[in-house]
Amino acid sequence: MRIAVNARSLILDQFDDTAWFTWETFSRLAPVHPRDEFLFLSDHPIDRRFLISPNITPVLIRPAINFPLARKIWFERRIPLMLKNLQASVFFSPDGWMPGKTWVKSCLIMAGSFDPHDPGTKPGSMEYVRFARSATRILAVSGSAGKHIIAATGIQENKITVIQAGVSQGFKQLNWEEREAVKQRFAGGREYFIYAGLLSKQSNILRLLKAFSLLKRKHQSNMRLVLAGEINGKSREILSALRSFHFREEVILTGNAPLETLQQLIGAAYCLVYPSFSAGYSISLAQAMRCGVPVAASTTGSPREVGGDALLYFDPLDPKDMAEKMGMLYRDERLKGRLITAGLERSAGWTWEKAASNLWECLLGTAAS
């Protein structure tokens, strides 16, 4: 089988949830399926460190996608032609984008988004509906995302498979000395809340900043806020707000941290805050739970499905409610301890080996359909 993979997200030290899923699954699949070929398609050169198995072949396809028209050209013209030339058995795309028409069977990961400012394909838009209907099989990263996709596109439920992301082994509980060392390195020795993910409007960071300000004013605490994620063109509004933010000196921007650094940052955090509207992967929730770090999360999207009763929930549209839940974790050690225990128990079975196995079954079924 020749599996063509949209591997555009694989950029060293710039991993988002899409990159995590792509790398963690295919780095496991390729070595155990040596007779199959894995073609990593990208608009930029794939770093050789991603080519861990001789049956992984990088395929560079131009133009580089740095503006909307280039994206259309890449997916609608270049990809169908390349898939035909490569005689691919199946095309896998983890970022919600694919050609509107292609003769190759396709497996597409889609996420439902509930933010009208989502810069990606919006549920209900012509592209979103067209991709959903064109794909042979759709993988939803949560049950709530699957329901939203069905409602937005009108496709049949039997076309969707829900697949749970895993957690890398490096995310684990830190001991006291390790936590103190990380806090000293990144937060001046102080406790901190952390958000880990893209710094964009969809991530709801502006309301998180308002909530953090309310928390600081109410409790007079020395807590800090670490924003660990990629800073790009979609971050302009957040960076602008930070310039006039009263507690600017208490907010730490790490940029897109390397894996080992991210593991340390999440593992040493007082609490992870997940304010996003997205019904996406929610990988950082699982990472924090595996680290024994309590999580306060949005009621919208997939967190409730991922976290169950192991998370503390807030209204993502209400900074006051967000600040109140962050404050509850700040002052209630019993609540914090309960969430830590529940999170460790719930996340114990989330492995990338299981996710990779489930993805392989979907790829086989897609190619054979």
Bond from prior residue into 31 cis (ω within 30 degrees of 0): no
Residue 156, SS3 per DSSP: coil
pLDDT in tens, 310-326: 999 999 999 999 999 99
Query: What is the chain's mean pLDDT, rounded?
Result: 92
Average pLDDT over residues 121-129: 68
Q: Is the pLDDT of residue 171 over 50?
A: yes
More confident residue, 149 or 264: 264
Least confident of 33-42, 82-91, 135-144, 358-367: 135-144
Residue type, 95: D
What is the spatial distance between Cα 178 and Cα 192, in angstroms, rounded to a whole number?
15
pLDDT in tens, 202-216: 789 999 999 999 999
Q: Report residue 123's pLDDT band, with 50, 70 and 90 as the boundaries.
A: low
Relative orientation angle of helices 205-219 and 319-331, to the nearest 10 degrees: 50
Q: What's residue 267's pLDDT?
A: 98
Sign of the four-CA dihedral 85, 90, 95, 97: positive
Start-end of H helices in 59-125: 68-73, 79-86
Average pLDDT over residues 72-96: 96
Average pLDDT over residues 184-198: 96
pTM reported for the whole predicted model: 0.86
Which residues have a Cβ under 8 Å from the Cβ of 244 and sit 6 or more positions away? none
Least confident of 27-31, 65-69, 311-315: 65-69
Average pLDDT over residues 128-147: 89
Contact 265, 243 (CB under 8 A): no
Least confident of 14-18, 171-175, 233-237, 333-337: 14-18
Average pLDDT over residues 85-93: 97
Start-end of H helices in 220-299: 236-243, 259-267, 283-290
Q: What's residue 202's pLDDT?
A: 76
Q: What structural domains does the chain harbor? A: 2-166+351-368 (3.40.50.2000), 176-347 (3.40.50.2000)
Sign of the four-CA dihedral 24, 28, 30, 31: positive
User: Would you give the end-to-end CA distance of the chain in angstroms?
Assistant: 14
What is the spatial distance between Cα 44 and Cα 53, in angstroms, rounded to a whole number?
20
Least confident of 11-20, 37-46, 224-233: 11-20
